[in-house]
């Protein structure tokens, strides 16, 4: 090995350090403020009145900047579509038989509680920390657990890929549909209280207008999407496992 890579390493070190220094100087030059200013102060002061939601972060995500949320969940939709496309040529032969009896029983007891937990996180997204993204991830975790513990054919029997596709597209369409209601009401795409969604009593379960519905829509999209990603990948691993068995290892 010559000294050439060494020189490149030093050069890239210098480049990184100077870039970091520039970025640090940029932060260090900012004046330190103790007060919340700008839109942030507006959100803190007015969220309850303007959206009816108790969770300010949830209100920003699903009301003030709901269009960003639609975009973010669409990024997941795109990734799911692509991963399913890249792995679609592998044919699924036979899944593993899963783990031991004890693991299966244990998970069997836990699954209903996990489902309830996920539902609460989604449905109470406008009142307490949580929301569609977080709850959807827990839903996906349930399907992942089923896949690992019982084998992927069991999982695909209870949650067929077809159902997941419908849930995912349905969530996306529900979100867009809520947006179009606002557009039809003439108050702007994805508008909430202004479009006539009832604000309800502040702090109660039925409040904050369209925010809970959007939470459900994102939960459907994220849960079904992440689960599809995992299933597409493990399907391929299982197919490989099958191939090894055919080779006579077992």
Q: What is the DSSP string of 139-175?
A: HHHHHHHHHHHH-HHHHHHHS-HHHHHHHHHHHHHHH
CB of 195 to another protein, least distance (A): 8
Partners of 207 in the beta sheet? 200
Interface with another protein, residue 227, by CB under 8 A: no
CA nearest 189: which of 201, 175, 206? 175
Interface with another protein, residue 192, by CB under 8 A: yes
Alpha-carbon span 205 to 111, nearest angstrom = 25
DSSP type of residue 201:
S
Residues 155-184, one symbol each (x = binds another protein by CB under 8 A, - = not), give -------x--xx-xxx-xx--x--xx-xx-
Interface with another protein, residue 68, by CB under 8 A: yes
E-assigned strands of 64-213?
none
Among 53, 54, 55, 66, binds another protein (CB under 8 A): 66
Among 53, 61, 84, 211, binds another protein (CB under 8 A): 84
Interface with another protein, residue 91, by CB under 8 A: no
CB of 233 to another protein, least distance (A): 15
Contact between 59 and 208 under an 8 Å Cβ cutoff? The reply is: yes
Interface with another protein, residue 63, by CB under 8 A: yes
CB of 110 to another protein, least distance (A): 31
Q: Which stretch binds another protein (CB under 8 A): 40-48, 113-121, 122-130, 145-153?
A: 40-48
Contact between 98 and 154 under an 8 Å Cβ cutoff? The reply is: yes
Please state the φ and ψ torsions of residue 11, each to the nearest 5 degrees: -60, -45
Please state the φ and ψ torsions of residue 219, each to the nearest 5 degrees: -60, -45
Contact between 36 and 190 under an 8 Å Cβ cutoff? The reply is: no
Q: Which stretch binds another protein (CB under 8 A): 85-93, 136-144, 148-156, 230-238?
A: 85-93
Among 79, 111, 114, 144, binds another protein (CB under 8 A): 79
Alpha-carbon span 86 to 201, nearest angstrom = 48
CB of 15 to another protein, least distance (A): 12
Alpha-carbon span 228 to 143, nearest angstrom = 9
Interface with another protein, residue 96, by CB under 8 A: no
Distance of CA 30 to the CA centre of its chain: 33
2 to 31, contacts with another protein by CB under 8 A? Answer: 22-23, 25-31
- Contact residues toward another protein (CB under 8 A) are 22-23, 25-31, 37-40, 42-43, 63-68, 70-72, 74-75, 77-79, 81-82, 84-86, 88-89, 162, 165-166, 168-170, 172-173, 176, 179-180, 182-183, 187-192, 194-195
């Amino acid at each position: 090995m010559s000294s050439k890579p060494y020189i490149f390493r030093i050069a890239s070190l210098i480049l990184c350090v100077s870039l970091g220094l520039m970025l640090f100087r940029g932060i260090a030059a900012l004046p330190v403020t103790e007060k919340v200013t700008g839109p942030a102060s507006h959100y803190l002061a007015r969220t309850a009145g303007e959206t009816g939601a108790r969770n300010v972060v949830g209100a920003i995500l699903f009301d003030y900047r709901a269009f960003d949320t639609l975009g973010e969940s669409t990024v997941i939709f795109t990734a799911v579509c692509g991963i399913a496309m890249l792995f679609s040529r592998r044919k699924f032969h036979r899944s593993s038989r899963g783990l031991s009896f004890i693991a299966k029983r244990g998970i069997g007891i836990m699954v209903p509680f996990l489902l309830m937990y996920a539902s609460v996180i989604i449905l109470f997204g406008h009142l307490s920390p949580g929301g569609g993204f977080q709850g959807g991830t827990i839903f996906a975790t349930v399907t992942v657990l089923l896949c690992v513990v019982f084998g992927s054919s069991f999982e695909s029997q209870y949650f067929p890929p077809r159902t997941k596709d419908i849930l995912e597209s349905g969530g996306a369409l529900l979100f867009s549909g809520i947006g179009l209601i606002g557009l039809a009401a003439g108050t702007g795409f994805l508008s909430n209280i202004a479009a006539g969604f009832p604000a309800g009593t502040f702090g109660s379960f039925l409040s904050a207008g369209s925010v809970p519905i959007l939470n459900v829509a994102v939960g459907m999209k994220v849960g079904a999407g992440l689960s599809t990603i995992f299933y597409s990948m493990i399907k391929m691993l299982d197919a490989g496992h099958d191939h090894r068995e055919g080779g006579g290892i077992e």
